[in-house]
Amino acid sequence: MGESRVSRRRAGPTLGAPFVVLAVSLAAALVGCGTTERPGVSGHRHGAGHAHHRFDGAEQWAKRFDDPARDVWQRPDAVLERLALREGMHVADVGSGTGYFAVRLARALPTGKVYGIDVEPDMIRYLNERAAREGLPNLESRVGLPDDPQIPEPVDLVLVVDTYHHMSDRTDYFGRVARQLTPGARVAIVDFKMGDLPVGPPDAMKVPAEEIIAEMLAAGYDLDLDDRELLPHQDVLIFRY
């Protein structure tokens, strides 16, 4: 496991306030390139306007999103370990799609509660049916809005995987998320590294690490954990509010 660097800084009132810029970005890949794309919130091409991708036909998308080959580089068990889950936690997976992480979270937290949040109605249907099929009464999928996840109750942790770059007005978005957190709750962002990778989108569609850090600090969060070595193609940033 790679060495993690822990840093905590309170955001100033503007982006010009002093802070240390550290690391991460997570994007989805172009479907035509044969890599993975994760549905979540409103589509956003970094620096090039907006382009919302539709994800109808959840059963077909599940073959791509939940392909066991993804486990090799996504290392879901290692990610869950990094999240430092506690029994009874309430967690929201924002951009949950077909449930790659939401199902794992529900299994890891049998006495907790997991909300899968997505803007795609067919993904909501699919994940709720999957939860019933796999005997996970603690997993519930809900429709969120492009500018507000509408988590139904305060949660202890929000997980955002392959979704950050889809979001518009991200500082405002995570300012709204903050009002849906318990005191001291965390937001974990897992995003693709910049550079030429075998998975993920081109750099033009990613949000640079420095920008993610700046936006989260501006939204009032502290950077709690920066791990750039855990995953081969993604960085893990955890913020605390």
Q: Nearest CA to 227 among 207, 209, 200, 208?
A: 209
d(CA 167, CA 174): 10
pLDDT confidence of residue 6: 39
CB 240, CB 158: distance < 8 Å? no
Mean of pLDDT values over 188-216: 89
pLDDT confidence of residue 223: 97
pLDDT confidence of residue 84: 97
Average pLDDT, the chain: 80
CB 150, CB 198: distance < 8 Å? no
pTM beyond 0.75: the answer is yes
Q: Give 21-71 pLDDT, tens digit per residue.
A: 222 222 233 333 334 444 444 333 343 333 445 556 766 656 567 678 888
CA-atom Rg of the chain in angstroms: 16
Residue 23 corresponds to which tokens in the numbers above? 């690391």
Mean of pLDDT values over 191-207: 88
pLDDT confidence of residue 154: 98
Other CB atoms within 10 Å distance of the CB of residue 43: 21
Q: Give 67-80 pLDDT, tens digit per residue.
A: 788 889 989 999 99
Q: Structural domains in the chain?
A: 31-232 (3.40.50.150)
Other CB atoms within 10 Å distance of the CB of residue 148: 15
Which residues contact residue 40 at a Cβ distance below 8 angstroms, ignoring those fewer than 6 apart?
A: 94, 95, 96, 97, 118, 119, 160, 162, 163, 166, 167
Q: Give 1-26 pLDDT, tens digit per residue.
A: 444 443 444 333 333 322 222 222 22
pLDDT confidence of residue 62: 61
Confidence of residue 218 (pLDDT cuts 50, 70, 90): very high
pLDDT confidence of residue 164: 85
d(CA 229, CA 226): 9
d(CA 159, CA 178): 13
Strand order in the sheet with 90-94: 139-143, 113-118, 90-94, 155-161, 181-192, 234-240, 222-227
Three-state DSSP string of 11-80:
CCCCCCCCCCCCCCCCCCCCHHHCCCCCCCCCCCCCCCCCCCCCCCCHHHHHHHHCCCCHHHHHCHHHHH
Confidence of residue 158 (pLDDT cuts 50, 70, 90): very high
Other CB atoms within 10 Å distance of the CB of residue 194: 18
pLDDT confidence of residue 58: 66
DSSP secondary structure code for residue 183 in this structure: E
Start-to-end CA distance of the chain, whole Å, equals: 26
Mean of pLDDT values over 200-218: 88
Please list the residues that pair with 63 across neighbouring strands: none
